[in-house]
Structure 1
Amino acid sequence: MEKENQIFGIRAIIEAINAKKEIDKVFIQSDAQSELMQELQKLMKKNSINFSYVPVEKLNRLTPNNHQGAVATIAPITFQDLEKLIDTVVESGKKPLFLILDQLSDARNFGAIIRTAECTGVDGIIVQKQGSAPVNGDTVKTSAGAVFNVPICKVDHIKDAVFLLQASGIKIVAATEKTESNIYDISLNEGVAIIMGSEDRGVNPSVLKIVDEKAKLPMFGTIGSLNVSVACGAFLYETVRQRS
């Protein structure tokens, strides 16, 4: 974690949140119970800030400074407003292509996906505020800097994004093994948003219920699943192929 993208100390983090800084994630000492810590937790929940409880050893590794049981990372980018971004893309007259990441948690996978998204002309990437991979140094590095070129939006819930996109006439396609439909049999030559699930659980079942189509990649090996960034690349390049 780059030190320039770091805030340590409970009071400093509270001040940063109140100042509307782009806080990406907060790490909290799992056994810290002070009144100030409780104030920070309430503030994070109120502002839907991503946080997790960790042992003090992790915090000590993150910073040599007096962290008081809390270390935060500041995102190196400014997150975009989804509604405004959808309007801009739709009004441009091009076929929209959005990517929704349903609680993808690995920063390197996130970075690799952003890199592919930039190469395939994705108009915006949508993530959930809670439970998603942070935009940190690992993300920037594995994206080869593409994180600065693709708009990224945070939403309270993935369903919010799905309903917004559908209201603008954009078809929602979920990448899931829980279907008989093959990605190569589905039309992507229109306004589309592709949902990729988390590394371990896939797309949330409640989200699968509201999508327009489900699709899977054909598998011929014995393992039965691909790394999510590789699968995402296959979906995005099939979209490019159909549109070319």
Structure 2
Amino acid sequence: MDHKNQVYGIRAILEAINAEQPINKIFLQKGIGGELFKELEAVIRKKGISSSYVPVEKLNRLTKNNHQGAVANISPVPFHNFENLVEGILEKEKNPFFLLLDQVSDVRNFGAIIRTAECCGVNGIIIPKSGAAPITEDTIKTSAGAAFKVPITKVDHLKDAIFYLQSSGISIVAATEKSEEEIYTVNFNQPCAIVMGAEDRGISASILGLVDHKAKLPLLGEIGSLNVSVACGVFLYEVVRQRTK
């Protein structure tokens, strides 16, 4: 964890949450008690903030300061409000273009995806609050600084984001090998959002059941899948190709 982007101590973390600081994750000491600690746990649950319980040795490695059993990782990039972001883009863009990431968990994959998204004119990236890769210094480095340029928003549930986008006239396209349709037959020259799945299991079945289209990439070799950041790049540039030809 980058010490420049951490908050330690229960009261300090509660204040950071109340101030709506962009928190990536909170590490909590196993086996600790106390009313203030319970208050922090309750706030974490209410806000849907990613957290994990770890041994005190882990916290001692994260900071040499008096952490009181809690250390928070603060994102160096602010997150946008989902509805405000979508509505603002819909007002400005004739053909809005969104990207949803379903549990992409590797920070370097995330950074590479952000970099390609910026190059392809993606208007906003939508990730879930739980299970998504945090924005770290490695993410920013891999994105070549694009993380500061593409608006990113966190939502409680991607399902709700999909319903909201669909009600706003956005066509949702899932990148999945579980499709008979190839990417090149999908019409991307309209308001659209592409969904990319997790590195190990792809897009969850519950999300696949909501999308408007499912599309796959043709794979001519013996390996059955591409790295998610590479696959995402192909999908994003197919949108660019269709919109610029």
Which TM-score bucket, shorter chain as reference?
over 0.9
- Match of 2:41, SS state, is helix
- Match of 2:135, SS state, is coil
Q: Distance in 2 between matches of 1:106 and 1:64?
A: 27
- Give 5+ residue unaligned stretches, structure 1: none
Q: Which moved more, 1:135-144 or 1:116-125?
A: 135-144
Q: Distance in 2 between matches of 1:231 and 1:29?
A: 38
Q: Distance in 1 between matches of 2:54 and 2:120?
A: 37
Q: Which residue of 2 aligns with 1:70?
A: 70
Q: Which residue of 1 aligns with 2:134?
A: 134
Give yes or no for the alignment of 1:237 onto 2:240. no
Give yes or no for the alignment of 1:144 onto 2:111. no
Q: Distance in 1 between matches of 2:71 and 2:221?
A: 43
Q: Which moved more, 1:12-21 or 1:98-107?
A: 12-21
Aligned residues: 244
Give yes or no for the alignment of 1:10 onto 2:10. yes
Partner amino acid for 1:107? V
> Can you list the C-alpha shifts for 1:128-148, whole angstroms capped at 9, x where unaligned?
111111111111111111111
The alpha-carbon deviation at position 34 of structure 1 amounts to 4.0
Q: Distance in 1 between matches of 2:177 and 2:14?
A: 42
Q: Distance in 2 between matches of 1:111 and 1:54?
A: 26
| TM-score normalised by length of structure 2 | 0.94
The share of aligned pairs that are identical, in percent, is 62
- Give 5+ residue unaligned stretches, structure 2: none
Partner amino acid for 1:148? F
Calculate the aligned-residue CA RMSD, in Å. Answer: 1.5
Q: Which residue of 2 aligns with 1:24?
A: 24
Q: Distance in 1 between matches of 2:148 and 2:187?
A: 30
The alpha-carbon deviation at position 124 of structure 1 amounts to 0.1
- Match of 1:101, SS state, is strand
Q: Which moved more, 1:26-35 or 1:185-194?
A: 26-35
User: CA 1:226/1:89 → structure 2, altered by over 3 Å: closer, same or farther?
Assistant: same
Q: Which residue of 1 aligns with 2:118?
A: 118
| TM-score normalised by length of structure 1 | 0.94
Q: Distance in 1 between matches of 2:69 and 2:98?
A: 38
Q: Distance in 2 between matches of 1:90 and 1:39?
A: 39
Q: Distance in 1 between matches of 2:70 and 2:61?
A: 12
Give yes or no for the alignment of 1:46 onto 2:46. yes
- Match of 1:221, SS state, is coil
Give yes or no for the alignment of 1:177 onto 2:153. no
Q: Distance in 2 between matches of 1:114 and 1:142?
A: 9
> Can you list the C-alpha shifts for 1:92-120, whole angstroms capped at 9, x where unaligned?
24311100011111111111111110000
> Can you list the C-alpha shifts for 1:180-218, whole angstroms capped at 9, x where unaligned?
111112111111100011111211111111100001111
Q: Which moved more, 1:87-96 or 1:122-131?
A: 87-96
**Counterparts of 1:153-164 in structure 2 under 5 Å?**
153-164=153-164
Q: Which residue of 2 aligns with 1:186?
A: 186
Q: Distance in 1 between matches of 2:79 and 2:177?
A: 31
- Match of 1:240, SS state, is helix
Q: Which residue of 2 aligns with 1:84?
A: 84
